[in-house]
């Protein structure tokens, strides 16, 4: 009898164990089904995203090619602008030189006009000894100043020489 009761208790315990194992296996099955379903949804989402990413990359490549093409078209315009800037710089420099030359020639012409006017003035005889002394002093030192080339005339001569050199340089460059 003791063996029968032991066998009965083992049988009942085994049955209870089997029931709990079945419940656990059903819960595990349900969990695995949910995981499988989630993985399928993730795959679908990844496929959709990969398609969108590929489209975005294609569009980016198209835009890059278009921008490169437009940049190549703009390059001649930029070269033209650079050349125009250089040309304007040269023109400005040439105008400065010409204006400096004209100013120097104008000053030189004005000085030349002044000299004959001074020579044409009637000279009167000084009445007093003091006036004769001042006149002789002016005559001596004024002639010395005229015999020495003035600094402004030297400077103007250098400017004229520089303009001549620049023009010959430009002619050689144009050839």
Is residue 42 one of the residues assigned to a domain?
Answer: yes
**Per-residue pLDDT, 103:** 82
Task: Report helix, strand and coil shares of the chain as percent, to nearest 5.
Answer: 95, 0, 5
Is residue 27 one of the residues assigned to a domain?
Answer: yes
Is residue 102 one of the residues assigned to a domain?
Answer: no
**Per-residue pLDDT, 38:** 95
Instruction: Report, as ranges of residue numbers, the positions in the chain whose pLDDT lies below 70.
Output: 116-127, 129-134, 136-156, 173-175
**Per-residue pLDDT, 142:** 62
Q: How many domains does the chain have?
A: 1
Is residue 138 one of the residues assigned to a domain?
Answer: no
Is residue 86 one of the residues assigned to a domain?
Answer: yes
- Residue 84 lies in domain: 1-96
Is residue 30 one of the residues assigned to a domain?
Answer: yes
| Separation in Å, CA 30 to CA 21, 22, 26, 44 | 14, 12, 6, 21
Is residue 172 one of the residues assigned to a domain?
Answer: no
Is residue 22 one of the residues assigned to a domain?
Answer: yes
**Per-residue pLDDT, 140:** 64
pTM for the model stands at: 0.37
> What's the Rg (C-alpha) of the chain?
55
pLDDT tens digits, residue range 127-152? 676 666 667 666 666 655 555 555 54
- Are the CB atoms for 104 and 160 separated by under 8 Å? yes
**Per-residue pLDDT, 26:** 95
């Amino acid at each position: 009898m003791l063996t029968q009761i032991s066998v009965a208790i083992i049988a009942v315990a085994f049955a209870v164990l089997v029931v709990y194992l079945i419940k656990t296996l059903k819960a595990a099955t349900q969990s695995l089904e949910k995981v499988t379903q989630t993985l399928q949804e993730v795959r679908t989402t990844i496929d959709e995203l990969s398609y969108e990413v590929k489209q975005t990359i294609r569009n980016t490549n198209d835009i890059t090619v278009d921008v490169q093409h437009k940049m190549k078209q703009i390059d001649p315009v930029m070269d033209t602008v650079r050349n125009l800037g250089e040309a304007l710089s040269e023109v400005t420099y040439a105008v400065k030189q010409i204006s400096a030359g004209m100013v120097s020639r104008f000053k030189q012409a004005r000085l030349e006009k002044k000299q004959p006017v001074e020579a044409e003035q009637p000279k009167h005889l000084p009445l007093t000894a003091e006036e004769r002394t001042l006149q002789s002093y002016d005559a001596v030192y004024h002639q010395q100043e005229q015999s020495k080339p003035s600094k402004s005339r030297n400077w103007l001569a250098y400017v004229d020489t520089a303009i001549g050199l620049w023009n010959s340089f430009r002619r050689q460059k144009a050839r």
